[in-house]
Structure 1
Amino acid sequence: MPASQPKRPTTVLVVDDDPFIRATTGASLSSRGFTILQAGNGQEGLDMFQAHGPDLLIVDLKMPVMNGLELLSRLSGVTPHTPVLVVSGEGGLDEAVEALRLGAWDYLVKPIVSPTVLLHAVDKALERAALIRENEDYKLNLERQVQQRTLELQKANRELEQQFLKQQKLGIIGTLAGGMAHDFNNILSSIVFSTELIRGSVAASDTPDQEDLERILRVCQRGTSLIRSVLHFTGKMHEEFTHFSVRDTMLETLDIIRGTTNSRIEIKTRVDHTLGTLFGDPVHLQQILMNLTNNAIHALAGTEEPCIEISATAYDDQQPDIMITDPESMLMVISVSDNGPGVPEENLPRLCEPFFTTKPRDEGTGLGLFVTQKIVKTLRGKLLFSRNQAGGTTARVCLPVSRSKIPTCAECLSIPNIRGNAERILVIESHPEVRTTISSCLTKLGYQIWQTDSVAHGCELVQEEPMRFDLILTEDGPLNSLDMLCATAQKVNPALRIMLATASPLGNIVCSHHAVCRIISKPVDMVTLGQALHHCLAECHCKI
């Protein structure tokens, strides 16, 4: 441990116009080990106080230049914890009272008949000052401890919330996994049957049924959505904000809920055909619906004929009790209702408070609805709760949705910002079927296409004729291959754009090359691919 600092001698400032009194007072105090400073009037005393900061002052009242009362007034509030003793032989009771009002700690009358009287007053004042300092130090230390403890509790609460979010995601992943095997078998069956029907039509020289083609695309998109949902919940993929169909997302989530809920619980659903679109991450809407449904399932414990009703309704007119302040949007309400015992009326306003729960101890953390409400707010919506007349609780999610529709497959090619203008694109893809499919789509969109199966060969093609290509569409490939491609492109043609199409979760992709204008994830549809290419070719180099 470092050596403690030696204690500084106590300094006493004696302010008196009588040099004999200053000398005798100083001698009495010096015998006790005090360091003595002397001043002949109030102005000198003020200057010495500001220069030396003494521990105690002994002040006379009647002095030239500046008297004792004026000195006390100048020092008042500046040094509230420095003891000041007034020693006067001419002042009356009124001056004594005024001196105490201005901050004097004690009043002694001249002549002081014994040094013991002075020393006792000095000791008493210094003891009081020391006690005040100790109390203030204790108070300051206590405040610091409270602040530190508050910060620790806030950190612990954040960690607890994050831990709950992870646990909640794991629970939802389990729910998703329980329904994914069933869903993927159905998806693959639909693809196999539809493909066989198309192959039969082609073999018979008939035109393939458009519905078979549409069905394959729909179920593939469904599989993509399922995979991305799991990746989102596990943190392997960043949130992807896009315009998505509320109805399609609702139907997908309801399929999962039906496949994973105990068959003893009846689930009734009603989803309007026109629910509009939302801008956000579809997984957020899935999480809201699954959280509210899981809450309803817990509330049905012990109910003889358990039932959950889930509905999604769009309103063209205003609803005063659930109005969304967005005149450009349409109101859409998702309702989850159960026939359980219900939540007491006085607890309804507290349901979204953190750590408040109506579940038995060890069955709930009180964070589920708190997190759900935060997600609803990110979508600019409201979360409301009410009791049902017949028993049970209803949760309503009120969201502002856009009236615009997601374009259908037949409308894709008519979208103006996805078509090319004979720009030259080099496709680098090791998987032959993926490479052929992407190249065919790009040709259909109006681009000139060159193909290769490796980044190394792609670098050779770029070096052979640097101005041949306008853009390179490449997979992520082996380690450092993207670095090699970007370095080659920058060397031979700095204007050459590169777009990365990856099958890995986007959260795992690290790319610092300014030559990469965009990163997209596989599988990708024609509209998304066309829009991404149009952005890279028409605008500046910027990663999105």
Structure 2
Amino acid sequence: MRRQSLPLVIGFAVLALIVGARAVLVESQRANRVAARQAIEYQDALSGLLSLAQDAEIGQRGYLLTGEKSYLEPYRQAVEPIPGQLARIDGMTAPDDERTLQVSHIKEALSQKQAELAETIALYDQGNATKALELVRAGQGKAAMDEIRASMDAIRRIGAATIAARDEHTDQVEAWLRIGSLAALLAIFLLGAYTIRESRCRFREVAVAQEELMHKNIALGNEIRTREKAESQIRQMQKMEAVGQLTGGIAHDFNNMLAVIISAMNLAQRKLARGENDIAKFIEAATDAATRAANLTARLLAFSRQQPLAPQIVDTNRLVTGMSDLLRRALGETIRIETVLAGGLWKTHADPSQIENAILNLAVNARDAMGDDGKLTIETANSHLDDDYAATNAEVTAGQYVMIAVSDTGTGMSQEVMAKAFEPFFTTKPVNKGTGLGLSQVFGFVKQSGGHVKIYSEPGEGTTIKIYLPRFFGPEEAAGPVARGDNLAAPVTETILVVEDDARVRASTTDAMRELGYTVIHTASGQEALQMLAENPAVALLFTDIVMPVMNGRKLAEAAIERMPQLKVIFTTGFTRNAVVHNGVLDHDVHFLAKPFTIEQLGAKLREVLDAST
């Protein structure tokens, strides 16, 4: 028995060694991530300190050049937080940290800079403007700022070198672990071969019982496969729910977009400070990055089934027919498009704009899979999903559905790709060719609408994705295709009341409406808004944020309409689970515009509501 158990003991020991080595590697990688995050936070703190110093300098220069006291307010707002920011940096710097020397240089240079700023302002206040400007031109302040930037660059180099050293050490550990794993696998294989040879001598003694055992093993294997299939479905459902709550996949895309915005704005600020006005390309880059960030947020909300929907009774055949021009522009002339529309198609109750987005997402994915040539088929049909189908597919309720199928003649998908196709940020496309959120958005919308989506595909044989939306039972007239991009230029005369508790958002919204030609009054709270309505009976529309302290937007709208029954209302917010959205669906007769929005979207929504009949 000892000879029999020896190979097993050795095998378990080898496995334990592999697991332990892997644990060491994982811990090392975790430590690297922590160090990288701390380095980023440290750089953010230094960047904030530099920004404060620059803001103080800008305020001082503005005051010296113009004599306007208003420039001293930004100067004071920048100077006051500097001690707190230095304390934060000190708290993040260990006593034995090699960055300590550079931090002390920054403190000394910053102290000199603050002294120079304070002295020039004092001289100017005493009426000695010439002496103040001579002190600025002497270059002591510039030298101090250069010293600050040089020290910060040195700190960045130190941080980068530390992280690089950690990564190099981790790579070495991983290389040795790989070699050790291969050697361990070879040892396990040899031990297995030895054990098999020894076991054959003893299997002859149980030949009679082997056949019965084999039959039992077959039955057990069938049961295991059945259970594994059910467990796989449960794990997939849990994983899809969990992924909707994670933010790890968002970090990469958002950091790239924020990097573009921050860089563009910093460059624009520097050029403006130098009196240069060629900043259009920086503004365009920042706007494009912000738009992509807004689209990313919308797609994530769709996947997590938390986007506000405006469902209507939809004639799917009519909607698909109305999309022909849009699909032709999106796919190009080289892709052949065919529609197969079922006669007597049932109606469904869903958001028509989201149905269009889902079909468009599937069509664009199909185009990418087909390349420059191929055929796209869009088919509609009445479908019944029975109890057997519902039992083998998660989150499916048996019943009648309207089916929309999008098929292509592209490269197809493997089973492994299909298993991950609906996961956010998963994509097989090359870098910068896809975000991995198109199918995730389709999945979230269909599930939020009570439907089902299924992929049928094989490598080299193309792909068919079927969307099942619940059948609607009722006589209501179906909605037509969603209008896109209507921009009717017409003079505007209405007065709008904007209610927004965030001062920056309120200012930008007000400026956008005035740019569109409207007369705008604004306030920060619901109580002030009611008072302004009483003083301005000519207000035609209330544009209010939903999430506000004391009185939220819904309560404000109810109180305002009670006083002015003809008042139109548009709600806006970045995200809300209540007030005007319940179970993911907008309340009846509610006009809603999600933040962030463009001036064009704002203008279209304002005209839609103002021109609507009461």
Task: Give the TM-score range, shorter chain.
Answer: 0.3 to 0.5
The two structures have a TM-score, normalised by structure 1, of 0.42
TM-score under structure 2 length normalisation: 0.38
In our comparison, the structure showing a higher alpha carbon Rg is 1
Greater per-residue helix proportion:
2
Compare the two structures and name the one with the higher strand fraction: 1
Which structure has the higher relative contact order (CA within 8 Å, separation 6+)?
A: 2
